[in-house]
Amino acid sequence: MRIVNANEIGRAGVEKFLTKKSFDEVELSPKVREANKKIFGEDLSAIEIVRRIVSDVRKFGDAAVIEYTKKIDGVALKNFSVELEDFEIDSEIFSSLKVAAENIRRFHVEQLPKSWITHRGENSLLGQAVVPLERVGVYVPGGTAAYPSSVLMNIIPAKVAGVREVIMCTPNANKTVLAAAKLAGVDKIFKIGGAQAIAAMAFGTEQIPRVNKIVGPGNIFVTLAKKEVYGHCDIDMLAGPSEILIVADENANPIFAAADLLSQAEHDPLACSILITTSQPLAEKISSEVSAQLENLPRKEIAAAAIERNGLIVVAESLDAAIDFANFSAPEHLELLVSEPFSLLPKIKNAGAIFLGAYSPEPLGDYLAGPNHVLPTGGTAKFFSVLNVETFLKRTSLISYTRKDLLAAAADIIRLAEAEGLAAHAEAIRKREEGL
């Protein structure tokens, strides 16, 4: 892995390395562009392709979904739905899925907010009603890896929140993904993917019901489609490639650190694996260890591409400087491989999830611990939160004034309304003054 020293290149130099491209700045590979040219008859950008698909699905419904699924995936669809049968999978895998599901459910139950009402004046009431969304769509990718864990992470919080109906769209789902969906409580499954699936859930088609919100990971086309339909429905976030940032002191285990860096690199050639340490010798050991462990990975080609493109080790002058760089990066996953991780916790401002200590590696959060693994990427942890129960809830304000309390407030309301030039607002209050 590439090693840079913060003292030699300065803060600006380190920040340049840590600045990640936004999801919409990702360039299509020549191979993908050539394939798209054959499908669409011209060399289109990712957003041009997505806008065409979304527009057609909105206008033509199922017919457009069928057309694009055949063009892009080579699959001829008729009936989109998948029967919710008992999917036979390995019993030990199913047992592990049940453990994960229970941990995820238990964690998210703790997040449930409550509706509330408080008194204002003489028997007037103000409050907030917390209401679940009625229908949510979950997208599950069908690419180079299967993600039953993402199925659990997206569906279970929605069900805990009280969402009446959860539908799932996924192309070529294997039985483990389908079993996880049923275990999580999915209501309907549809065998479509890509931008056409996002558009179908956002606008509704003859076979696919319109949803209030779309959640779940996907490639650049799925992410751009979510951005395109936002406003017609809500979305969870605009996620980019997976990423990990590790802060390590001189006592960190280089074998653990290298393994954790590779755990994200194997996701995607665009994945980002960064380590910041106070020790030059440790940096060199970790770099060597990454190379050694890489040789034994089944997804070696993908991980090697990610390490080559976005792998980085930064040697910082102190742990405070390392945390400062970590806050600037705002990583999806932040590991603290230091002797006293909890002492650093108050200093961390920007991270999707924080893993404290050598025995809390990132895959623990991915699969079993219970907190959600759908996290903000690309530096958006500076303003986005992890997917949670509140993702599937909306708040409605409650206002109930008595006659006496409205009269007491009338002059202030009229004054403010007239200051804004909204005479009808003021009159709505005056009419009640006159009538009362």
The mean pLDDT values, 10 residues at a time, for the chain of 436 residues are 94 91 76 89 92 97 96 91 90 97 98 94 92 97 79 98 97 91 97 96 97 94 96 93 96 98 93 97 98 96 95 97 97 97 97 98 97 94 96 97 94 97 97 83
342 lies in some domain = yes
Same domain, 216 and 365: no
The reply to whether 256 and 335 lie within a common domain is yes
Predicted local distance difference test score (pLDDT) of residue 250: 96
Q: Are residues 291 and 419 in the same domain?
A: no
- For the chain, what is the domain count? 4
State CA 184 to chain mean position distance: 18
Within a domain: 381:
no
Q: Which residues contact 377 (CB under 8 A, 6 or more apart)?
A: 23, 239, 240, 241, 242, 243, 332, 352
Domain that holds residue 155: 81-239+389-394
Answering whether pTM is above 0.75, one says yes
- Indicate whether 272 belongs to any domain: yes
Q: Are residues 188 and 313 in the same domain?
A: no
* Claim to verify: residue 150 and residue 165 sit in the same structural domain: yes
In a domain, 378, yes or no: no
Output the pLDDT for position 239: 85
Do 264 and 220 belong to one domain? no
DSSP letter string, 154-214: HHHHHHHHT-SEEEEE-SS--HHHHHHHHHHT-SEEE---HHHHHHHHHH--SSS---SEE
In a domain? residue 43: yes
Q: What DSSP assignment string belongs to 133-152?
A: -SEEEEE---SSS--HHHHH
Same domain, 102 and 233: yes
Answer yes or no: is 281 within a domain: yes
Instruction: Give the residue numbers annotated as catalytic, written as ranges.
Output: 332-333
